[in-house]
Structure 1
Amino acid sequence: MMKRFNFNAATKAMLGAGLLSLMLAGCGSDGSDGEPGKPGPVGTPISKVNTLKSKINSASVDTNGFLTINFSLSDANGAAVFGLKNTDIGAVSFGRVGSEDEIEGLTDVEGQAREIWLSYFNKDKGDGFYTGSSYFQGKNCEDCLTDNQDGTYTLKLNKAIDTLGKYDYKADMVNGIYLGIKTANAANVNLVNNSFFYWQPSSDTTQAKPKPIIADETCQSCHRPGHDGALAMHGGKHVTLESCTFCHTDYNSYMKDDKDENDQVIGSHKFDGSIKGMAHEVHSHAFYNGIFPQSASNCQTCHQPSETLTMADAWKADKDSATCLNCHNSPYAVPSWHWDAENNQILENKQNCVSCHNDPDGARGAERAHYSSNDSAQAAKTRVIFNSMTYDEASKTVTANMTVKHGDTNVTLAQIDSSPYSHGGFTSAIVFNGVVKDDFLVNYQKVGYDHFSEGADGSIDVTFSDSDFKVAEVMGTPEVKVALSSQLHVCFDGKGAVANCKPVADGVIPNSGPYVPSDTVYFNVDGSKVDKTPRVQHAEMTACQQCHTTAIKHRFSNDIDGCASCHNGTRDKKGNGSSNLAYIVHSKHYLYDSSGNGFFKKTDCQTCHGKDGFSLKKIAADAAPVAFGKTEDETEQTLVSPQTAACASCHQPPYGLSETTINHIVTNGGVIGTGHGVAASDYDAQKGQEACATCHTDSQLLEAHSNWSFDH
């Protein structure tokens, strides 16, 4: 009879281990280790990162013209990122530095061929036209990308070099690669990155970026990354100027259809698809359509002088007629004797612009035409200096003394535009006002040319009294700081030199230049100068000048105060609405491009207002109310309380000013009516202690505006 044994759990485990060991020993093991398992991935999966950066580490080209790229991906902290897929490779473009002599018909100055970029991926556009835009896309290859699971990748293109037989691959020249990645994380946030690599394949040595003409950051001062109007072309994967240059080479051209208002083709024209051709074309039309705030003729808006860009001055070279013709392509932009009216184009024998317009030997070239011999550019270099201000209380008369300088030379009275202004007064004037507790005191006062006279040492006196202007009201206000700025026009000779003004019929002066810049200067009543502005600065002019440079409406000030001295809280429109600076600026900054897409939205507060210029806490509780129009019978101004006015300058009906919202404002101490303002005579009775900033803190305002779209 077999005996039965009872084992507890621990005994069973020990016995099981022993039996297992015995069984393994009986397998005839030679004692060597088995194959090691494949290590797990190193880094963070791409689905979990919010920022992506790529770096091309090396590249090679095989004998059949196929490119292989070794690159790495990292997150914002530099840690490795794995998990990129073939379809995430949005673009790979490839090319080299070459000479324009390699392209038939491109060289304008014989023997002085320019250095240009040549793409290795050309596209045939028919009729003899071609472009460099046939780039590789990962969606067209299932096995081109190898993820090494440690943040490094190898990409072998299935697309060979094809220049359409125009030129050859050259391993001894500087070659370059553009890698564009576009993917998304688990939260469906787009991750876009453009990276570049330049090297000489024959020696396998890295090279500096060729043709450094304009920095990406220059474009991005207006085309801000992550905002409306950002450079995000062709599906949002090309987000830098440098990426554009790989495809939009100098030889890019093709025929483009002209369409009428019904989208019907009515003709065609040769289109310059080079990066310079498109940039000049887009910015010229965008300026005239009110989107781009600076004329494309102001070259240095984009071609900014730079010590770090070795070719920053290349636009002055006068070797490329195509650049001229990008803008000078209409009867309004060229001399009449250059234009072929019958064929609506520049005469064929005038199309090689640089054969004549070249400095220093020929007619004025790019730099002289746009700057040193250009009236508008030279007007921007003229300046107004307020030397002194005196006040005679007995006669209630102010005398301001100013010097107008062009370089080191004083501008005389005879050289200042004395013509009448179309809306009354004079074209040239100074602006007189006063500030108390951050607020200007009176509606704008332009003291015109008829009050100007010759002063000492080439200066100009401006004398005016209470009989014509609110002198006593300004000068008699306790703690007032007197504000002076200018609105002057200086006359030129048509070639950038200051000249005497030449009136014609009705006093019109055709050789008058644009507004001369001026800073706002403050004085105490006793004539002593005030070192800095007494006003809270809600924005800095430098923020405006990132896009506007020198072309801000009524260009007369290098500071915000110059604008606000006229567009202040005392000024209304003749009907509904305010002429206050906040109202005017906000109304101008919802911009759409030619396709109807948003370019700039005013809800992006910090673009203009910096860190905290938008803060309601900066508006004092005892600040003056803001004029917002007139009553229906036009007998009285209507007013809005100051913090409320800041909000109402943007929130116009039907957005944000419903009856419910108005009641909410009033409940919290604001003064506003259903038609915006309340009659001035009723304002004090309704005035409370505004409490807007209690809830509408800086962080809350930014959060409330962060996702505001053009569709709202």
Structure 2
Amino acid sequence: MKTKTHILWLSLLSLNYGILAGCSDDNDNNQVDNPTPPVSDVGVDINNATTLSAQIEAVNIDDKTQVSVDFYLSNANGVAVIGLDKLDSIATLGVGIAKLGQPQPLLPNKDAVADYNTKDQMAEGKEWISYINNQVAPGSGAGTKATTEWQAGIETSCKLDCIANLGSGHYRYTFSKALNAYSQFEGLDTSYDANATTRIYLELLPTSDSDVTKKLINITYDFIPATGAVAKADEGRQLIDPQQSCYRCHTANLGSSEHRLLMHGGKRFNFEGCVMCHTTYSADPETGNPIDMATLVHKIHQADYKIVGHNASMNDFSGVHYPGEITDCQSCHISNAAPQADQYYIPGNNSCLSCHKDKISQAPSTWNGTAASLFHDRELFPKAWANSCAGCHPDSNNPKGASLIHDKLLQTRSSIKDLYGLSLSSVALGTGTLTATVDFDKLNTFPAQDSTISALYLVVNGKPDVIARPVNNGQHKLWDISKANSNVTLTMNGNKLTATINGVTAADFGDVASAVVKAKMLVCANQDSVTAVDCNSDQAATQVEVISANALDLAGANASRVVVADENKCQACHDNEMQQRIVAAHTLAGSATTNPLFTAGNDKCGSCHNPVSATALTDGSCNSCHNNDTVAYMNADMYHTAGADHIKSVRTINNTLNYREMVHSLHAGTRTVKGMGAPRNEATYPQSAANCQACHDEGQLDFAGLKTENSQLVATPGASADGQVAELSPTVATCAGCHTSVADWAGHAREFGGVFEADASGGRIYQAGGETCYYCHAEGQAYGVIKLHKEVSQK
């Protein structure tokens, strides 16, 4: 093991004591045979320390399997923290120890798993096995599947009795029992293995009122007992990097009391510590549900998990709405992100069963509850068995095992996007015509001649929130240019497709320079074969969206619309197929097949009511339809003449369809559930809605765009009939999507030029540019929105 600075200090301390002892009086009758070195405490007293940090420096396991853990306690500056052993009590002090070994079965399935293990010698990935375990009977809240279960744990009751002060911030924790003295259970292999990679976990919080953001300690330490060496990366088990996986959506900020991932009474957050207790063999006795990390995470994100938990409290996760593609394993299991990232390829009993609930419902009556017996049914899993054993268990022929199937949707999308990649080389708006040239990376025939291409859209998004709107809400247009028609002429020159569209003028779009033009192709595909297929065939199981690599404006220059949110941050939670799922969710998305009015390019309805036109979440394609006046066009005449009398009574500011307020209210949980004839499930946003930087980059909240926008007309709070409308100026509307208590802010808003008129039946009174909110609340100002919201998000 590498000698660390603080261990070297201990060695010098022992040496000094030895020199002093050598100079002692030989006639000293009080000398003892095994003197204890004097403790010299130099450092900051723990009662005065404002921050705490810890480092495990050494672990010793003697021949009786008694374990002691040496650790150094310091503040954030590395100065020793003394006095831990002098506290009257310690609020939280827990230490755990686990080894890497073969996965252990759940107690009710231990005999079935053992039986299959004798038949199936396929190698399995190693899992953590705690040396400290309990057998727990069902208590209050027991359900129909209640049964006695094993549960891994850590030692939490010894605290001060197990702590020894070694001097100047150095402490030793000695477990209250030898490893072989903890409870042993038949069928659970907790025998001591000196050659196995072993993990120590330490959690510490001095007092119950300690600031967890500065003083809560969760650390792990992996080593090999036989050698004492720190475990190498390839000797451990770390399948994910929480920063790249969990914290893409959740917050790592322990100061956010409502949204932080701080579990078990507010004392545990370290993922690599969590997996020491959330093991393959641990389960909830009241429900019988496994609590291993794979099952826990998979089923929570599928909204299919309940456990009773501590003090008989029911934890029901059926309301969770995962905003990504749940079948995309690599949303969390990111290649090369962690030393054992690819081990998710190796099948495990609980992890396989955690997702395949549809197959469980089809299991024969003879099924014994194990993954092996279920997945060995060739009729239930024909795709896996097509690759023999390697369909699940990785081998040299198929190193990915079952993940070859799990990753096929992602592979299919990637392959199709590579094969059908495209870009725009020119766009020109003439007198009555719009001409655009699409460059294909590999395609060199007319799209209409390729039966795998469902459509190729040319999408134009004008500036959505202008005061003088073009006729027919027409700032958003799209045409299917995969085939020629009476309005579209096509020519093909090599890999360049040029489309000339008739009947288009600048007046259709308003500000030409603010427009964003993109191309979007829909390709039919089959994820089993990972190929594009004929759209008319039975094999066409999915469609892949291929978006042009660039965007131009209507003058042919690179599009320069100001972006006010970060697309990458949206995709971090929603993945890059979000707009495809939005298309499927729109009520009128499929209507084009039955009603020609909804066909793309039909300006009467199709430009908006064919939401396949969405090209990204932040490029204007969504708010081209979801704009300040959208609710005024609903229920209007065919040509959508806007009018306040069309505004539905349910479309208050926190149920408006303007994109900005819609997104804010959904993520803040303030959106009403009225409208569309059915209740709306509440979004389970895992961050604080006050964390602006979860979506916005620096410089995007300067309010520059808001200053030029029109006000919004929406239903007045408590409206009982359509046409009862309120007016909100643009910044006021932005805030009101989350801050729904009008009385709290209306007076302040009016003082600085903002408008909130509960009765706007007489028409708009706001003049664009009248608000002065940005003087104080724009990003970087004294009371900037990011600064104010950051204070709120940390409360």
TM-score, reference length from structure 2: 0.67
2:14 paired residue number: none
Q: Tell me if structure 2 keeps the 8 A contact 1:59–1:69.
A: yes
1:294-313 map, 5 Å: 294-306=324-336, 309-313=338-342
| Counterpart pick for 2:619 among 561, 566, 569 | 561
1:502 paired residue number: 536
1:261-300 map, 5 Å: 270-285=288-303, 289=319, 291-300=321-330
Structure 2 CA distance for partners of 1:247 and 1:363, relative to 1, 3 Å: closer
1:55-454 map, 5 Å: 55-84=55-84, 85=87, 87-100=90-103, 105=114, 107=117, 109-125=120-136, 130-137=149-156, 139-148=157-166, 150-161=168-179, 162=182, 163-164=184-185, 166-167=188-189, 168-184=191-207, 191-209=215-233, 210-218=236-244, 219-225=246-252, 226=254, 227=256, 228-253=258-283, 255-257=285-287, 270-285=288-303, 289=319, 291-306=321-336, 309-317=338-346, 319-330=347-358, 339-340=363-364, 349-352=373-376, 355=389, 357-358=391-392, 365-372=401-408, 377-378=413-414, 381=417, 385-391=422-428, 393-394=430-431, 396-402=432-438, 414-417=451-454, 429-435=457-463, 443=473, 445-449=476-480, 452-453=483-484
Structure 2 CA distance for partners of 1:184 and 1:558, relative to 1, 3 Å: farther
Q: What is the identity percentage for the equivalent residue pairs of Structure 1 and Structure 2?
A: 21
| Counterpart pick for 1:670 among 732, 754, 763 | 754
2-structure distance, mates of 1:74, 1:549: 40
Structure 2 CA distance for partners of 1:688 and 1:230, relative to 1, 3 Å: closer
Tell me the amino acid that sits aligned with residue 324 of structure 2.
Answer: Q
* Post-superposition CA distance 1:187-237 (Å, at most 9, x none): 755632211112222222222350122113122222322234332121122
1:22 paired residue number: none
Q: Does 1:646 align with 2:734?
A: yes
Q: Tell me if structure 2 keeps the 8 A contact 1:629–1:637.
A: yes
Q: Tell me if structure 1 keeps the 8 A contact 2:509–2:515.
A: yes
* Post-superposition CA distance 1:620-648 (Å, at most 9, x none): 63x22254447999789986433333323
* Post-superposition CA distance 1:244-297 (Å, at most 9, x none): 11111223345543xxxxxxxxxxxx4222211211111122798453211331
1:614-633 map, 5 Å: 614-616=701-703, 618-619=704-705, 621=707, 623-629=708-714
Q: Tell me if structure 1 keeps the 8 A contact 2:197–2:231.
A: yes
Partner of 2:327: helix, strand, or coil?
A: coil
CA apart distance, 1:500? 1.7
1:689 paired residue number: 770
Partner of 1:221: helix, strand, or coil?
A: helix
CA apart distance, 1:94? 0.4
* Post-superposition CA distance 1:159-196 (Å, at most 9, x none): 43234353310122222101112345877556322111
Tell me the amino acid that sits aligned with residue 196 of structure 2.
Answer: M
1:413-562 map, 5 Å: 414-417=451-454, 429-435=457-463, 443=473, 445-449=476-480, 452-453=483-484, 455-456=491-492, 457=494, 463-466=500-503, 471-474=505-508, 477=511, 480-485=513-518, 488-495=521-528, 496-502=530-536, 511-513=541-543, 515-517=545-547, 521-525=551-555, 527=556, 529-530=557-558, 533-554=559-580, 557=615, 560-562=618-620
CA apart distance, 1:53? 1.8
Structure 1, unmatched stretches of 5+, are 1-37, 258-269, 419-427
Q: Tell me if structure 1 keeps the 8 A contact 2:422–2:440.
A: yes
2-structure distance, mates of 1:415, 1:540: 32
CA apart distance, 1:298? 0.9
2:594 paired residue number: none
Structure 2 CA distance for partners of 1:256 and 1:100, relative to 1, 3 Å: same
* Post-superposition CA distance 1:396-443 (Å, at most 9, x none): 22133335679999976532336xxxxxxxxx7443123499999765
Considering only aligned residues, what root-mean-square deviation do their CA atoms show, in Å?
4.4
CA apart distance, 1:498? 0.9
Tell me the amino acid that sits aligned with residue 164 of structure 1.
Answer: F
| Counterpart pick for 2:657 among 575, 579, 598 | 579
1-structure distance, mates of 2:365, 2:519: 43
Structure 1 range deviating more: 397-406 or 436-445 = 436-445
1-structure distance, mates of 2:682, 2:161: 37
Structure 2 CA distance for partners of 1:347 and 1:369, relative to 1, 3 Å: closer
Q: Tell me if structure 2 keeps the 8 A contact 1:132–1:252.
A: yes
Q: Tell me if structure 2 keeps the 8 A contact 1:381–1:406.
A: no
Structure 2 CA distance for partners of 1:52 and 1:347, relative to 1, 3 Å: closer
Tell me the amino acid that sits aligned with residue 223 of structure 2.
Answer: W
Partner of 2:739: helix, strand, or coil?
A: coil
Q: Tell me if structure 2 keeps the 8 A contact 1:404–1:411.
A: no
CA apart distance, 1:492? 1.3
1-structure distance, mates of 2:275, 2:209: 32
Partner of 1:198: helix, strand, or coil?
A: strand
Structure 2 CA distance for partners of 1:642 and 1:300, relative to 1, 3 Å: same
* Post-superposition CA distance 1:40-60 (Å, at most 9, x none): 843333344443221101111
1:613 paired residue number: 700
* Post-superposition CA distance 1:57-104 (Å, at most 9, x none): 111123443321110122222222234356344421101122348986
2-structure distance, mates of 1:671, 1:582: 18
Structure 2 CA distance for partners of 1:373 and 1:301, relative to 1, 3 Å: closer
2-structure distance, mates of 1:211, 1:558: 37
Partner of 2:518: helix, strand, or coil?
A: strand
* Post-superposition CA distance 1:352-389 (Å, at most 9, x none): 47747336769994333222366874588467633244
TM-score, reference length from structure 1: 0.75
Larger Rg belongs to: 1
Tell me the amino acid that sits aligned with residue 223 of structure 1.
Answer: H
CA apart distance, 1:565? 4.8
Q: Tell me if structure 2 keeps the 8 A contact 1:440–1:565.
A: no
Q: Tell me if structure 2 keeps the 8 A contact 1:280–1:327.
A: yes
* Post-superposition CA distance 1:106-130 (Å, at most 9, x none): 8585142432222111222469965
Q: Tell me if structure 1 keeps the 8 A contact 2:251–2:686.
A: no
1:424 paired residue number: none
Structure 1 range deviating more: 220-229 or 349-358 = 349-358
Q: Tell me if structure 1 keeps the 8 A contact 2:284–2:290.
A: yes
Q: Tell me if structure 1 keeps the 8 A contact 2:518–2:552.
A: no
Higher strand share: 1
2:43 paired residue number: 43
